[in-house]
Amino acid sequence: MTTTPPAAPAPFGARLRRAMDTYGPLCVGIDPHPSLLADWGLGDDVAGLTAFTRASVDALAGHVASVKPQSAFFERFGSRGLAVLEGAVAELRDAGTLVIMDAKRGDIGSTMTAYAQTYLSPGAPLFSDALTVSPYLGYGSLAPAVELARESGSGLFVLALTSNPEGAEVQHAVRPDGRTVGATMLARLARDNEGAAPMGSFGAVVGATLGDLSSYDLEIGGPLLAPGIGAQGATAADLPKVFGPAAHLVVPNVSRGVLRHGPDVAALRGAAERFADEIRAAVA
């Protein structure tokens, strides 16, 4: 008796494009920061973390294209915090909401392989649809994550042009070939996305607060995760000005702008829907 092997998973880029077309491109961050826990009337403890995460998942699962949990705010509670994160990831993915794990991992060799297996191996407790990674040990150091993402149908978001002021000293540094380090990362991503349709699975993190980026080629064939909308000062209306012809690739990330409406689930969902409508109109 022969058995039919399981179908290969659809690549992350294709699934993300479909979700963006259905729900709008908004990605909502789940960042259980101590100040937000306090604003919600919750304790800065595992019970508060659990209640915060429960309300966020109830509000967002099945209602937005993607959600980006910030791993550090769960990790600080140790194994109990990671258990909360594991449960949230599973529930969101079961509801069809894509999970972009914001862990910003980056290392070399077997260590990078272990990081990739933690987040990109099907069956792993924290298996996510995509992972944020740091390429500043060299883009080639990400090879284990790139390879595993291809195998598992997952994606990566590589830090390229971040919005923090400190990032400029590395990302805007000019290489001997005259290209900045940030531009080099974008070019390497474009190469890894070659031939992918309707969108590649290897994206860049590019801040929405950076102003005119017309000197950079942002048409990398993959998504552009854009933090900075809301509390950091950027608006949906800024997206076409910042990203130009690449605006159709942008996945704008809003965290505090949505989360400040908690703990009421309906209020959280309503805020996410308003941001999604504004962003969809701005980039249409």
Asked if 36 contacts 52 with a C-beta cutoff of 8 angstroms, the reply is yes
What radius of gyration, in Å, describes the C-alpha atoms of the chain? 18
Residues 6+ apart with CB under 8 A from 191: none
Rounded CA-CA distance 205/194 in Å is 18
> CB neighbours (10 Å) of residue 147?
13
Alpha helices in 28-172, H assignment, sequence order: 34-39, 46-60, 72-75, 78-94, 109-120, 143-152, 168-171
Catalytic residue among 18, 54, 93, 104: 104
Asked if 159 contacts 134 with a C-beta cutoff of 8 angstroms, the reply is yes
Q: Is 241 a catalytic residue?
A: no
What single DSSP character describes residue 244? Answer: G
- Reported as type and span, the H/E element at residue 257 is helix 256-259
Rounded CA-CA distance 6/13 in Å is 20
How remote is the C-alpha of 186 from its chain's centroid? 16
Q: Which two tokens stand for residue 184?
A: 């080099």
Q: Which two tokens stand for residue 270?
A: 């309503």
Rounded CA-CA distance 93/113 in Å is 23
Q: Which two tokens stand for residue 197?
A: 């349709």
Rounded CA-CA distance 36/38 in Å is 5
Which active-site residues does the annotation give? 104
